Structures are given as structure tokens and as C-alpha cells.
Amino acid sequence: MPSPAKQGASSLMALLAALTAIGLVLAVLVPHLLGERRDRQEAAAGDALRDILKAELAHHEKGKAFAQDLAALHDQGLLAGPLAVGLKDGTQFGAIARDENGVPFDPARRFAYYAVPEVYGQTGKRFLILDETGRIYARDPGFNAPPPAAWPASDPTTQGWLILGQ
């Protein structure tokens, strides 16, 4: 029969082995699960941009101009509450009011919006932009990048933006 000291050491070794195995599993699973969460939030941001597109098109049909403003779309009953204040599901939304040359958009012809993660790396990594064509572009600008203040270029893909869809 083993001594109590040997039994204690054996139990401690078994416990350490189990904790090491749990640690390894968590080291693999946690980043994977966080990545899936980020992907879901980025997909939800794309869906919200499509909602903004629908609201802008409806506004344009009613008034012959684009609103270019989330609160205005909400006030017209075209956009749900959380988007009207520019924050939904860990993503910040806002209007882009100028083209790549700094010229304000003509509300009769153009609008653009952005969706950026509220906490880079946790709620997303990619910035999304949408214009009146319905095309959504995505780009990972890295940590601490500000939301786009102007449309990036007449063709955003020349500035590293990828087309996600329409």
C-alpha cells in the first residue's frame, strides 16, 4: 500500500495533468469561438447596412433625395431604433458625407455609410462601407483606425477594400 505522501503526490500529478489538458483545449477553443463571434457580428453589420440601404432607397423615392442621416431615416419611420443612434450589436454606424476629393455628396445622387467594430478585435476587425449602389466593401485597417471620414476612392478596391456583396 502506497504511503499517504505518495498518494497525495500521485493525486496532485493527476490534477495537474487534467488542468494542463483543459488549458490546452481552452487555448484552442477560445480563439476559435471568439473568431466565430466576430464573424457573426460582422455579418450582422452587413445586414444592418442592407437595412440602411433599403431605408435610403425608400426615402429617396418619397422625397427625391437621400437622407444621408441615420436619425432622419428613423424619424421617417424607415429605420429601427438602435441603428438610428449609430450603435447596434457591438458595431458603430455612421454616414460618410464626402467623396474621395472631400466634396460633399449630392443628396439627390449619392450616400454612403460605414460600420466599424465598437471594440476592434472583439466585436470585429473589418470596417464595412456601403454606397447607393448597394455594394458593400470590407477592409481591416488595423487597431485604432478611425471610421472613414470620406469615401475612399471612386473604386475602393484600389485602396485595399474588398467587395463583399450587393
Give the residue from 159, 151, 135, 137 showing the smallest Cα distance to 98.
Answer: 151
Which domain does 9 fall in, by range? 4-165
Position 30 scores a pLDDT of 45
**Which of the pair, 1 or 150, is modelled with greater confidence?**
150
Q: Band the pLDDT of 166: cuts 50, 70, 90.
A: low
**Which of the pair, 13 or 101, is modelled with greater confidence?**
101
Give the tens place of pLDDT for each residue, 34-91.
468 778 889 999 999 999 999 999 999 998 899 999 999 999 999 988 899 999 989 9
Q: Band the pLDDT of 19: cuts 50, 70, 90.
A: low
- State the average pLDDT over residues 21-38: 55
Please spell the DSSP secondary structure of the chain, one letter per residue. ---HHHHHHHHHHHHHHHHHHHHHHHHHHHHHHHHHHHHHHHHHHHHHHHHHHHHHHHHHHHHSS----HHHHHHTT-S-HHHHTTEETTEEEEE--B-TTSPBP-TTT--EEEEEESSBTTTBS-EEEEETT--EEEE---TTPPPPSS---SSGGGGTPEEEE-
Domains in the chain, number: 1
Retrieve residue 162's grid coordinates: 474588398
Q: How far apart are CA 41 and CA 38, in angstroms?
A: 5
Position 58 scores a pLDDT of 96
Is 32 in contact with 40 (CB distance < 8 Å)? no
pLDDT over 80 (residue 31): no
Position 158 scores a pLDDT of 96
Give the tens place of pLDDT for each residue, 97-111.
999 999 999 999 999
Retrieve residue 102's grid coordinates: 472631400
